[in-house]
Structure 1
C-alpha cells in the first residue's frame, strides 16, 4: 500500500485531473460522463495494478450478499444512474425500476446504518443475483470487495461482525471519491454524499435535477449523508491542498 507521502501525492494529482475535466467540460452535456469515466477508470486501473501482490477477491457475478448495505453516491453518480435507467434495456420488459427504487426508499430512508443492515432489504437493482446498473454502479459499490464469500454470508446472517474486506479497494475508493469531491467543491458544484435510493427517487421525480446541479444548486440536499459534515471534510481537503498539516491524510471513510 502507499505511504503517507504517496497518498497525499495521489490525492493531489487526482484532484487536479478532476479540476481540469470540470473546467474543460463546464456547460457541456458530457461533463458528468467525462468526470465519472475518469473516476471509474482511475479506480479500476489503480486497483488492478496494486492488486497483483494481493489474494484474489471473492466477489463475482451472481453474488449479491453485501447488497443490503446502504450505498452512498455523489450527485454526478446519482444523475448518471438516473439517466442510465431511462435508456438501458433491462432483462424484464415489465420491470419498473423507478417504482422499485421508490419502494426501497420508503422502506429504508428513515433507518440508520444498523437498522438498515438488520432489515436485510436488498438493493432494488439486484435481479436474479446480478446488478442491473453494473456499468454505472457508484464508487461505493466498486470499493466494497471481500476476500471470503462465506464470511460475507455469515455477516449478512448476523453470525459474525467483521469480514476480510479489501483495504486496497476501500482506500482507492476513498481517495478518488474524495479527490473528485474536492474538485467539485472548488468548481462550485454540490459535492456531498447522498443516500442512493433517496437521491435517485428525487432525480427520477424531477427531470430538472441535472440542470439545477449544473448551476451550483443542490437538488439532493434532503438525501445528504450527515455523519461527516461538509465543513469538516472541507477543512481536511484544504489541509491536504496546502500541505499545512502532517496529519491531513484522508483515510478510508466507511460511508457505504
Structure 2
C-alpha cells in the first residue's frame, strides 16, 4: 500500500470490524482496530470484575465472520465431534466465561477429564485422544460459550477428521484458507489486547484451565484483579512467545505505541 491507501485502510477499519471481519479483505489496520476494541472492553471489564462484555463482543464478531463465510463448503455439522477429542487452547477470559455456564454435572465431568488428560503435553495429546467433557451425545453442551478456536474450527472432509483425530492416520485436516485467516486474526488480536490491558495473554489447555477456574473462589474477580490463577494450567510449551512473534509485536506496536 502507498501512503494514501494506508490512510484510507486505517479510516475504513472501524467499519470493517463492526461488520465482523471479512478474511478475504483483511489487513493489519483491521486486526489492529479489533485489538483496540477488545482492549476497550477489557478495561471496562476490569472495573466490573466480569469478562462478560469482552467475550460477548468477541464472540459476536466471530459469529458474524463465520456467517459471512457461509458460502464456503465445509463438512462440519451438528453431531460431528471428531475435533472435540484433542487439545483445545483457550485464553483466561474465555475459560472464565465458559466456567460460569457449566452445570454441576458438567463441572464434575471436567474434573474427571482433567485427571485423564493432565499427564499429556501438547505434543503427546494427539496420541491420546479423549472426548471433551462438555460433549453431550456428540454435541457441544455449551455451544454459545465455546472458545475462539472451537468457533473457527472447520474441515472440508469429516472422514479425514475421523481418521486423524482418532489417531488412525496422521493426515492434515483440509481447512478452508478463509477460516485459517479469520482464526489467525482473532487469535492475534485477543492476546495483543490482553497484554495491553496488563493481563496474562497466553493460551491454556481447556480442561486444566477450567478445572482451576471451577475450583478457585471468586476466580473471575481474582484474575481481573491481577492474580495469575492459571499459572499451574497446562500450556503449549512449543508455542512461540509473544515477544518473539513478529505478528504479535507488530500489532502491539500499532495499537499501543
Confirm whether residue 16 of structure 1 aligns to residue 36 of structure 2.
yes
Aligned residue among 97, 115, 120 for 1:106: 115
Aligned residue among 78, 84, 89 for 1:61: 78
Confirm whether residue 232 of structure 1 aligns to residue 243 of structure 2.
yes
Confirm whether residue 34 of structure 1 aligns to residue 43 of structure 2.
no
Residues 210 and 173 (structure 1), Cα distance of their counterparts in 2 relative to 1, 3 Å cut: same
If the length of structure 1 is used for normalisation, what is the TM-score? 0.81
Confirm whether residue 173 of structure 1 aligns to residue 192 of structure 2.
no
C-alpha distance in 1 between matches for 2:87 and 2:170? 18
Stretches of structure 2 that go unaligned for 5 or more consecutive residues are: 1-22
If the length of structure 2 is used for normalisation, what is the TM-score? 0.81
RMSD between aligned residues: 2.2
Alignment of 1:1-256 (within 5 A): 1-2=23-24, 6-29=26-49, 31-52=50-71, 54=72, 56-86=73-103, 96-157=105-166, 158-223=168-233, 224-232=235-243, 236-242=247-253
Whether the 8 Å CA contact 1:182–1:234 is kept in 2: the answer is: no
Stretches of structure 1 that go unaligned for 5 or more consecutive residues are: 87-94, 244-256
Aligned residues: 230
Deviations 1:159-217 (A, max 9, x none): 35212123322321221132121111111122211111001111111122211111122
C-alpha distance in 2 between matches for 1:115 and 1:228? 14
Whether the 8 Å CA contact 1:143–1:169 is kept in 2: the answer is: yes
Whether the 8 Å CA contact 1:51–1:168 is kept in 2: the answer is: no
Residues 18 and 156 (structure 1), Cα distance of their counterparts in 2 relative to 1, 3 Å cut: closer
Whether the 8 Å CA contact 2:243–2:249 is kept in 1: the answer is: no
Whether the 8 Å CA contact 1:144–1:166 is kept in 2: the answer is: no
Whether the 8 Å CA contact 1:63–1:129 is kept in 2: the answer is: yes
